[in-house]
Homo-oligomer: A and B are copies of this chain.
Amino acid sequence: MFAEERRMKIIEIIKKGESVKVSGLTKRFNVSESTIRRDLVELEKSGKILRTHGGAVSKSINKLEDTFLEKQDKYAVEKDRIGRIAASQIEDGDTIIIDSGTTTYYISKYLKAKGITIITNSIVLTYELANREDIEVINTGGTVRINTKAQVGPITERTIKQFRVNKTFLGANGLSIKYGVTTPTLDEAVIKQAMIDATSQVYLLVDESKFSQVYSSVICSLDELDYIITNNERPEEEVEYYEKCGIKVLT
């Protein structure tokens, strides 16, 4: 591929409103960082892009970020932080499952690890990650639920059962000492169970509002959890109990 071609393609990517990383581009085009930097310098000189530390973005319109989620969610800040912590647990080369839901969604903002494969049943997350050249995204498929944009049903379940992964990042509506992890709908509970079965380590992402809550469908008992990631306003007595059960609680 010629330099001109490469630069055209870089522009294409950026014109879509996506940002690009130097590291991602080196992999994608299989050239050195120097070369990519020179490309970006050139493209910036001719006014086509705006360089940033680590890559480049479109000069015009800022992205369609700030989705509906972040504005109306009461615990957006907490979830953001939880997402960041969760992302920091992901290592290069991991194959992971990320559950649907608003909390888990925030992981995508902080994904840094290289060469990872993500399996998810979230349409929103898939849509978001579909632009990341450095991540392989596998969508489970399934029937789309209107409220949560999660995919559920037999297709989803069967796809998940095909995989064995390192880590699963799970969302839930309720976490209680007595009843474990729960959610309001059976469909989603079944899928979450399949996700747990497919993994070696289970991370549960819950903000403070989920503690001591119980919903009708049980996802799993506490002993299936390896980690709980939550925010600082966590209820200490409960947390102590969970840690006594052998669950590591990260904040």
A69 to B11, CA, bound (A): 13
B143 touches A137 (CB 8 A): yes
The chain B residue with its CB closest to the CB of A151 is B139
- 0/1 per residue, A143-167, Cβ < 8 Å to B? 1101001010101100100100000
Give the contacts of A118-173 with B (CB-CB under 8 A): 123-124, 126-127, 129-133, 136-144, 146, 149, 151, 153, 155-156, 159, 162
Contacts of A123 in B (CB 8 A): 123, 126-127, 130, 139
A27 on interface, CB distance cutoff 8 Å = no
Stretch of A13-21, A40-48, A235-243 with 4 or more beta carbons under 8 angstroms from chain B:
A13-21
B142 touches A141 (CB 8 A): yes
Query: A6 to chain B: closest CB distance in Å?
Result: 10
Give the contacts of A49-85 with B (CB-CB under 8 A): 50, 52-55, 57, 61-62, 66-70
Query: A246 to chain B: closest CB distance in Å?
Result: 34
A-B contact pairs, 26 of them (CB 8 A): A1-B19, A2-B19, A2-B54, A3-B52, A5-B62, A8-B61, A9-B62, A11-B61, A12-B61, A12-B66, A16-B67, A123-B123, A123-B127, A126-B144, A130-B144, A130-B146, A130-B149, A131-B146, A138-B141, A138-B142, A138-B143, A138-B153, A139-B141, A139-B143, A141-B141, A141-B159
